[in-house]
Amino acid sequence: MPALPTPRRLILLRHAEAVPAELGSFSAESDMARPLTHDGERAAMRCGIWLRENGLTPDTALCSPAVRTQQTLAGVQNVLRPPVINNVFLCPEIYEAEPGALAMALWQVPPQARTVLLIGHNPGISEFARWLDNRNEMLDQGFAPASLAVFKMVGSDLVPDQSSWANCGSMSLVLHTFTRP
């Protein structure tokens, strides 16, 4: 009997705590340049430790190009070695994205990816999590910085695996875990 494939999983991660915007600075460029605070750097590493301890090493990452999301990804990767996330895509469409734009980014993930980490911003990340699983009470607590939501794709552990990132949505992804390490 063939071994069951690893289930497909989507991990939504809101970036860790960033320095506040400078007073009177409302441009997209200045917002994109905001780095993590020292506490945010440590929280990003805690997220990576939590993923490692729970056997959730992403093979693909979709990340907003903002400095704070890239630093969050770096903090996660620093504690995942080995292995390191093999496929990292900086996706401008994730910055200030609504659920539909996040879903479209996910639909572009290569079919061989099994565990995808999507690092973005609120309110988009929390709205996307709600769109994927609108009945789960765990999501009622909101997406604080460095919060993780792990979704499992229904049917992706079957042989043969008929699931795909290209057609996943609210009927195929179910919240498994929500935490803030």
Name the token pair of 150.
């792990």
SS3 5: coil
State the residue for tokens 């770096």: 74
Q: What is the pTM of this model?
A: 0.94
Residue type, 49: I
Beta bridge partners of 61: 88, 117
State the residue for tokens 């401008």: 92
Cβ count near 25 (within 10 Å): 12
Q: Buried (b) or exposed (e) across 66-91, using 16+ Cβ within 10 A? A: bbbbbbbbebbbebbeeeebeebeeb
Name the token pair of 14.
């809101």
Rg for the chain, CA atoms, rounded: 16
Contact (CB, 8 A) for 107 and 116? no
List alpha helices for 20-179, DSSP H: 28-32, 38-53, 67-80, 99-107, 124-132
Query: Considering all CA atoms of the chain, what is the largest pairwise distance in Å, rounded to the nearest integer?
Result: 64
Structural domains of the chain sorted by starting position, each given as residue range(s) with its CATH number in brackets:
9-179 (3.40.50.1240)
pLDDT in tens, the chain (181 residues): 567 778 899 999 999 999 998 877 778 889 999 999 999 999 999 999 999 999 999 999 999 999 999 999 999 999 987 778 889 999 999 999 999 999 999 999 998 999 999 999 999 999 999 999 888 888 888 899 999 999 999 877 777 777 889 888 888 899 999 999 9
